[in-house]
Structure 1
Amino acid sequence: MAHSSTRSFEITATPQQVMAAIAAVERLPEWSSAHKSVTVETTHPDGRPNRVRMTVSIIGITDEQVVDYTWNGDDSMSWTLVESTQQNQQDGSYTLAAVEGGTRADFSLTIDPKIPVPGFLVRRAEKTAIETAAKGLTRFVEKNFV
């Protein structure tokens, strides 16, 4: 069964700075402790990642994933799971909007584990992913892209 979560948060940076940080997917392990390794396999013509292979470990479960990224300038990006050892589905996105003093980021994530996982563990994994997206990305952007 698929589970979805969303969260909005603000970052003291321009949408271009935030999207530059998001596009630096090979640096995900610097701000997301769940990401153990990330390899960009192919890029779009503009140089942004297209297909990415990664090892992710969350709530004690390690997953080897391949995801495809889609970019809409500095306004939004999304990814879709292509291969996974632990999931049937994963779709995520960031949508950015300029606000006074920075950028509002809307983060969305849908996951569907292959094996039955107790609801409380799925909720804990979702909470960890959402918190990492908000706090980890914010620190990473403000430290490296502002």
Structure 2
Amino acid sequence: MKKLMTTAFVFVLVWGLFGLLVYATLQGDHSLMSIVVAAYWAIIALACFISPLFLVAVFMAGKESDPMERAKLLIPLKDYYKRKGAIRKFIGLVTMAAIFVMLSYSGWVFTSLFYILACGFVTLLNSVGRDKFEELTGHIVKF
């Protein structure tokens, strides 16, 4: 139940923020756009902080010699490093491109460029971490 509530909250937050971005861009509402940009900066900062933490966690689990302890360390990382399907990847790319375009169109070019760079950085760290996670678990994690 806790996972469902967290997933629902994040879903509403992400798509609500995207909807606010679309509305503020189309209406030219600068005050609402400033709030949306501040929220995206917070998301960028959190993503650039959390992804390296997960990467460090998976590499520290790799240093563990006891298989039982290693399994205990890797279980919480399973959901984070789960592979996404093709449709979900496509929706993510389209959403990322739309956010980039709308931020740029609204005049927040530096924010949009930093958003794209942060997305690339997080994707790189996640792919390295997923490769290490799959190496440690011995199988591809896809549910």
TM-score of the two chains, using structure 1 as the length reference: 0.30
Give 1 or 2: higher helix fraction: 2
- Rg: which structure is higher? 2
Give 1 or 2: higher strand fraction: 1
